[in-house]
Amino acid sequence: MTQSSKSPSDPKARQRSFTGIQTQTLIVKSITTFVLAAGAAIIMIPFLYLLSTSVKSRDQLRQSPPPLIPMAADMVNINGTDEPLYHVTVNGQASDMALIKFRPGGKALFVDPAAPETTYELVIANQTAIRHVEIHFENYPEALKQMKFSKLLLNTLLVTFLGMAGMLFSCSLVAYGFSRFRAPWLNVLFILLLSTIMLPSQVRLIPTYVFFNKLGWVDTLLPLIVPQFFANAYDVFLLRQFFMTIPLELDDAAKIDGASPMQTLMYIIIPQARPALVSVAIFHFLYAWNDFYEPLIYLHSPEKWTLAVGLQTFNALYAVNTNYIMAASVVMILPPIILYFLAQKIFTQGVVFTGIKG
């Protein structure tokens, strides 16, 4: 990595550079790692809280501050009711006793489960509650059942994948048109296309809604899918940038063999542009999966909702069931996270973003 490691044969030079530049870089690297680790912890804490809350019971939710690992008090049956167990110290003797009644002044009555007749009045703060790990995985099936998950999932998948197909089809055609041909006004049209990236969506929102309403498409999935078949500036731009890197000689060879432009696109460009197509497909998945505004506007009846709208409504109706809502949220963010880890390279190495610069 550094100069010195390349010339191990010269121990003196190695020594010198180590005390100088290498110590400096070592310090810089340590500080960088430390700062990155601290930031990473801040990023991860909400996720840990999310997971932890999703497997707690209603009672466990009330613990403040919330323990990271879901805990519950050990209980013991005293005269027909369950009471929490404590490690207590009475006259220097340690034992386990049940708290049966709160008393004023931060005190409570404790009894020995083996001999519940004698009560001891002790300061609660001096005793430690006996707790055990208690995880409620059943929150997940319960939450999914309550929010009618399978129906919402089906709608979301339809919107996501049909839209993705439309986007890939139309954006490939358009990107090909913008990258491989000369025609009057083509550059002007391309700038026009790019300028739509900066257009606030609100300015076309209402007439588009009115239009779909006239077609009778409101409260169907169609307004979320059909527009994807008409390309979008962002994906066209990324694909075009990538298409431009494919050597023109390949096109020419195909042309000589008598291929039509359509065949050239299908058999030369598309196979070469696989990484770019995969990237825009992934970005589209994330966009469509997380989109909230359009599904909220267009989908009114619960059986038409996507997951985003369903989850929001589930929260609006049953906000107290934090555990169920967090469980449903975990399920909702799981597919993007899995996809993200599978396609990490695209994100961490910026495969398609290089076209953005200058």
Partner 1 sequence: MNFSPGKRPLSLSRREALWAYAFIAPWTIGFIIFTIGPMLASLFFSFTDYNIVDSPRWIGATNYVNLFHDDLFWHALGITFKFAAIALPLGLVFSYMIAVLLNSKISGINIWRTVYFLPSVIAGVAVALLWARIFDSKFGILNPFLEKLGIQGPGWFSDPHWAMSALVIMSLWGVGGNVIIYLAGLQGVPTDLYEAAKVDGATAWQRFWYITLPMTTPVIFYNLVLGLIGTFQYFTEVYVISNGTGGPARATLFYNLYLYQNAFRYFHMGYASTMAWVLFIIVLGLTLLIFRSSDLWVYYEGQIKGK
Distance of CA 109 to the CA centre of its chain: 48
Interaction of residue 322 with partner 1, rule CB under 8 A: yes
Q: Which stretch binds partner 1 (CB under 8 A): 102-110, 114-122, 152-160, 207-215?
A: 207-215
Asked if 337 touches partner 1 (CB under 8 A), the answer is: yes
188 binds partner 1 (CB under 8 A): no
Q: How far is the CB of 346 from partner 1 (least distance, A)?
A: 10
Among 181, 216, 256, 258, binds partner 1 (CB under 8 A): 181
Stretch that binds partner 1, among 3-11, 35-43, 107-115, 150-158 (CB under 8 A): 35-43
Binding residue (CB under 8 A) for partner 1 from 3, 77, 201, 245: 201
Question: For the window 132-171, what string marks contact with partner 1 as x by the rule CB under 8 A?
Answer: --------------------------------------x-
CA distances from 64 to 68, 71, 106, 255, 329 (A): 11, 12, 17, 71, 22
Element (H, E) at 330: helix 322-342
Q: Which is nearer to partner 1, 108 or 268 (CB)?
A: 268
* Axis-axis angle for helices 307-317, 274-290 (nearest 10): 20
In Å, the largest CA–CA distance within the chain is 101
Closest distance to partner 1 from the beta carbon of 83 (Å)? 24
Of the candidate spans 132-140, 143-151, 248-256, 333-341, the one that interacts with partner 1 by CB under 8 A turns out to be 333-341
Q: Which of 213, 215, 252, 271 binds partner 1 (CB under 8 A)?
A: 213
Contact 73, 130 (CB under 8 A): yes
The smaller minimum CB distance to partner 1, of residues 64 and 91, is found at 64
Binding of partner 1 at residue 38 (CB under 8 A)?
no
With CB under 8 A as the contact rule, the residue among 182, 188, 216, 301 that binds partner 1 is 182
- How many residues interact with partner 1 (rule CB under 8 A)? 96
Q: Which residue is listed with tokens 């961490």? A: 348
Nearest residue (CB) to partner 1, 122 versus 310 = 310
Contact positions with partner 1 (CB under 8 A) in 241-300:
261, 265, 286, 289-293, 296-297
- For 246, the token pair is 């494919």
CB of 17 to partner 1, least distance (A): 14
- Binding window for partner 1 (CB under 8 A); candidates: 36-44, 86-94, 113-121, 241-249: 36-44
Interactions with partner 1, residue window 63-102 (CB under 8 A) = 64-66
DSSP secondary structure of 278-322? HHHHHHHHHHHHH--HHHHHH--SGGG--HHHHHHHHHHH-TT-H
301 lies in the site for partner 1, by CB under 8 A: no
Closer residue to partner 1, CB minimum distance, 97 or 325: 325
List the beta strands (DSSP E) in the chain: 71-73, 75-78, 81-90, 93-103, 107-112, 115-123, 128-129, 131-133
Within the chain, how many helices (H) and strands (E) appear?
18, 8
Separation CA 124–CA 72 (nearest Å): 17
Does 58 interact with partner 1 (rule: CB under 8 A)?
no
CA 157/CA 164 separation, integer angstroms: 10
By CB under 8 A, the residues from 98 to 137 that bind partner 1 are none
Residue 249 is encoded by which pair of tokens? 């000689």
Q: How far apart are CA 90 and CA 122, in angstroms?
A: 8
